[in-house]
Amino acid sequence: MVLYYTHCYENRQGESRHLLLKAITSYIGNNKKAEQLVTSIRYKDKLGKPEIEGFDEFSISHSERTWAVLIGKRECGLDIQYPKNARFQEVADRFFDEFDKEAVREKGQSEFFRIWTRREALIKAIGASVTMSNTPSVLEEEVIFEGRKYSLRDIDLPAEEQTGEQIDLNVAVCIEGHMEAVEIRELQKQDKKQEKTKKRKTAMEAASAYLANRMRTVLEMQTYLKQKAYSVDEIEETISELKELKYLDDYYYALRYFEYNHSKHRGSLRAVRELEEKGISDEIIGNAREDYFYENKIDEYEEALGLARKEVFYLSEDGSGCIVQREINNRLLAGIGRKLERRGFCAEHIYRILNEIRNLTDENI
């Protein structure tokens, strides 16, 4: 008999089947065969005792974070139970044999859970219901039920590795016939790579998180998902769905980008360059720029001229409120030209503005 266990059970959907697969793989040494066996699991009767055709007997139990399975050649039962608050004497009086009831009265809750797990192990071995009232006393190592002998034994599982502390857990096994040695094996935890794969987000979940802080372009999203090592099909499917939901929209992104750019008193060429770097097509950029300028009646030449004039004229520092004009020379003009170019205004507008500034006089103020 082999008892496999883990103290890392989380009761997730499908987790018990996965742990059973790991246990059977270890038991027979063949993962492919184990997968075939696990998929053929069925139940002997309405009480739900599981069996696998062509495989040995087994019994599964879990309590809180501990999961275990007992596997062997003969009929067997396994039960594990962490103590918890319960009306134990009332339960004992209803279901236990007279000798077992008396033991609970004398020794209290700890004895109740020890007897409960032994009784459950017996019930699982014979395939009966937990509510059956004619179970024999399970205080002894051997029990006769309906003419058949069963052997009972308490098992001590090793402490949880993380804490190293002894666990307060009742574990009992029941085997048809005489008792035999029970080998105890811990199911190995998943390695870090497996855990990372298990916890990995779907492409849509990753994309949604990436969109949480601000809008993204289609190219930005493609690049991000590629860096996260999602497949081409996953990326295409995710981006297609995001487009349908309007969470990815390069035209709207460009429109808002021109709005932001204008609020910073920048020329549209700067926005165009940056949008191109973000992977938006020239056609979409052109349409967004034209629509934004038309709807907001933007005159870039006048805005650039206003910025240039601020470099030429300034408020007197003597407190008189007078506006003073700087000396217009090549150095000033070159500085204005560079500033307008950095801000993204076109060369045509810059040349016109520089020529206009050359002709400025105090009368233009």
Characterize the bridge pairing of strands 2-6 and 66-72: antiparallel
Beta-carbon neighbour count of residue 332 at 10 Å?
A: 15
Helices (H), 127-231: 192-199, 203-210, 218-227
Question: For residue 318, what pLDDT is reported?
Answer: 78
**CATH architecture of the domain with range 200-247:** Orthogonal Bundle (1.10)
Residues 10, 33: Cα–Cα separation, whole Å: 26
Helix (H, G, I), strand (E, B) or coil at 243: helix
Helices (H), 246-329: 250-263, 268-277, 282-296, 300-312
> Is the model's pTM score more than 0.85?
no
**Cβ-contact 53, 40 below 8 angstroms:** yes
34's CB contacts (< 8 A; 6+ apart) are 21, 24, 25, 27, 28
Name the token pair of 82: 């962490």
Closest residue by Cα to residue 115 from 134, 91, 145, 131? 91
**Cβ-contact 270, 264 below 8 angstroms:** no
Parse the chain into domains and list their residue ranges: 2-186, 200-247, 249-298, 304-365
The count of C-alpha atoms lying within 13 angstroms of the C-alpha of 159, restricted to the half-sphere facing its C-beta, is: 7
Name the token pair of 202: 């779907």
Question: For residue 251, what pLDDT is reported?
Answer: 96
Question: What phi and psi, each to the nearest 5 degrees, are found at residue 325?
Answer: -100, 130
Helix (H, G, I), strand (E, B) or coil at 142: strand
192's CB contacts (< 8 A; 6+ apart) are none
Per-residue pLDDT 10s for the chain (365 aa) are 999 999 988 888 788 889 999 999 999 998 889 988 988 888 766 556 788 988 999 999 999 899 999 999 999 999 999 988 878 888 888 888 899 999 999 999 889 999 999 999 999 998 877 667 678 899 999 999 888 999 999 998 887 654 555 567 999 999 999 988 899 999 876 554 555 555 678 999 999 999 988 899 999 999 999 998 899 999 999 999 999 999 999 999 999 999 999 999 999 999 999 999 999 999 999 999 999 999 999 999 999 999 999 899 888 877 777 888 888 899 999 999 999 999 999 999 999 999 988 887 544 44
Closest residue by Cα to residue 176 from 325, 70, 299, 276? 70
Characterize the bridge pairing of strands 76-81 and 170-176: antiparallel
Beta-carbon neighbour count of residue 303 at 10 Å?
A: 17
**Cβ-contact 327, 313 below 8 angstroms:** no
Name the token pair of 344: 């993204």
The one-letter amino acid code at 247 reads Y
**Cβ-contact 351, 336 below 8 angstroms:** no
183's CB contacts (< 8 A; 6+ apart) are 1, 2, 3
